[in-house]
Amino acid sequence: MFPILLAVAQIWYAVPLVVSISLVYAATRHEQVGPIMQHAFRLGVWIVGFMAVVFGILYLLSLGAR
């Protein structure tokens, strides 16, 4: 049970990374705050979705290795 709690605690390191990457990338594309926030939100959702897909694939692969 402890490794699961450790993994959940480590996933929180991804939150500031996703937020900062999304904001910086969106700010390089737009100059006004409104479009920056909209683009950052869409990019953040895309990044989290991509991470979820990769996690799902790795999880399925780990089940097959047992």
Contact, 19 vs 45, CB < 8 A? no
pLDDT of residue 59: 87
How do the pLDDT tens digits run along the chain, 66 residues long?
Answer: 566 777 777 888 999 999 999 999 999 999 999 999 999 999 999 999 999 999 999 989 988 887
H or E, element range at 12: none
pLDDT of residue 23: 97
pLDDT of residue 48: 96
Contact, 21 vs 46, CB < 8 A? no
pLDDT of residue 11: 84
